């Protein structure tokens, strides 16, 4: 035990003094004391030496350990948190926007380029959609009231048939023909015509030109 009674006052302050944990005023007091106290100067030196030794000693021993498999071992033993699907999507999106903006931009640009190339390429041999499509079926045909219509039937090589209607001048004796009064033609009209006509044009060369005010074709 120290012979200097003042040491008992300063003893508890030596360890925090070495650690820099004293208030400035306390620090000044300790500095004044150790300037005149040989024992406390030695104790402070001991604290510092011990502090450095323990740190270096444990670091040296820790350096000898192999951590190459450590993180992998920990990760293998943990069970991932199961977040709700919506939260996982949100997390993925927020991660992408937060950390992988450049990669996202490149990916979008690449996808756009791929679409520009792929879509025309895929569409090049595709069957037509809509008019002239094999899937197209005539449900009904409407004609203007009083119009006289005649079917034009065109049969394709693969057996499909296109039927369209053309206006023809209305002779006085045909006024009662179905369809000429705006009546709806029955479904399957095309099939009936198809058997009779390979290619029919009801208007001959000698017929009059159509009235420009009247419709020029039937609506499919």
Partner 1 sequence: MATDDLTLVKRVREGDQRAFRLLVERYQRKVYAIALGMVKDKHEAMDVSQEAFIKVYKYLPHFKGDSSFYTWLYRITVNASIDVIRRRGGGRLEMVEFDETLQLDSPDAHIGALGSRLGTNPQKSALRRELAEKIQEALEQVPEKHRAILLLREVEGLSYEELATTLEIPKGTVMSRLFHARAKVQKLLSEYLELDEAKSGVGTE
Task: Give strand pairing partners of 199.
Answer: 154
**Residue 155 belongs to what H/E stretch?**
strand 148-155
Contact call for residues 156 and 133 (beta carbons, < 8 A) = no
Q: How far is the CB of 107 from partner 1 (least distance, A)?
A: 19
Residue 207 sits in the site that holds partner 1 (CB under 8 A): no
Task: Write 187-194 long-range contacts (CB < 8 A, 24+).
Answer: 187/138, 187/139, 187/140, 189/138, 189/141, 189/151, 189/163, 190/138, 190/151, 190/153, 190/161, 190/163, 191/161, 193/151, 193/153, 193/163, 194/153, 194/155, 194/161, 194/163
Q: How far is the CB of 32 from partner 1 (least distance, A)?
A: 19
Single out the residue of 128, 133, 126 nearest to residue 220, CA to CA: 133
Residue 140 Cα to chain centre, angstroms: 42
Residue 4 sits in the site that holds partner 1 (CB under 8 A): no
Residue 58 sits in the site that holds partner 1 (CB under 8 A): yes
Residue 2 sits in the site that holds partner 1 (CB under 8 A): yes
Residue from 6, 31, 36, 42 binding partner 1 (CB under 8 A) = 42
Residue 95 sits in the site that holds partner 1 (CB under 8 A): yes
C-beta closer to partner 1: residue 101 or 214: 101
Distance from C-alpha of 43 to C-alpha of 123, rounded to nearest angstrom: 89
Residue 91 sits in the site that holds partner 1 (CB under 8 A): yes
Residue from 88, 101, 201, 214 binding partner 1 (CB under 8 A) = 88
Q: How far is the CB of 29 from partner 1 (least distance, A)?
A: 16
Residue from 28, 83, 93, 156 binding partner 1 (CB under 8 A) = 83
Tell me the window of 50-58, 125-133, 150-158, 196-204 that interacts with partner 1 (CB under 8 A): 50-58
Q: Which residues bind partner 1 (CB under 8 A)?
A: 1-2, 11-12, 14-16, 19, 21, 39, 41-62, 65, 67, 70-71, 73-75, 77-78, 80-81, 83, 87-88, 91, 95
């Amino acid at each position: 035990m120290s012979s200097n009674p003042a040491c008992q006052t300063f003893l508890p302050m030596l360890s925090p003094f070495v650690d820099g944990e004293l208030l400035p005023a306390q620090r000044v007091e300790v500095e004044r004391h150790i300037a005149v106290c040989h024992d406390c100067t030695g104790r402070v030196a001991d604290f510092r030496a011990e502090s450095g030794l323990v740190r270096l000693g444990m670091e040296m021993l820790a350096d000898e350990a192999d951590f190459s498999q450590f993180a992998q071992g920990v990760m293998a033993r943990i069970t991932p948190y199961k977040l709700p699907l919506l939260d996982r999507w949100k997390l993925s999106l927020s991660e992408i926007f937060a950390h992988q903006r450049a990669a996202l931009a490149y990916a979008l640009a690449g996808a756009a380029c791929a679409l520009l190339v792929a879509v025309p390429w895929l569409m090049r041999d595709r069957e037509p959609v809509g008019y002239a499509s094999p899937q197209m079926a005539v449900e009904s045909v409407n004609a203007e009231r009083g119009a006289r219509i005649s079917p034009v039937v065109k049969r394709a090589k693969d057996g499909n048939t296109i039927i369209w209607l053309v206006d023809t001048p209305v002779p006085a004796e045909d006024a009662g023909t179905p369809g000429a009064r705006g009546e709806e033609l029955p479904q399957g009209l095309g099939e009936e015509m198809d058997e009779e006509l390979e290619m029919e044009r009801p208007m001959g060369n000698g017929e009059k030109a159509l009235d420009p005010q009247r419709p020029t074709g039937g609506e499919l």
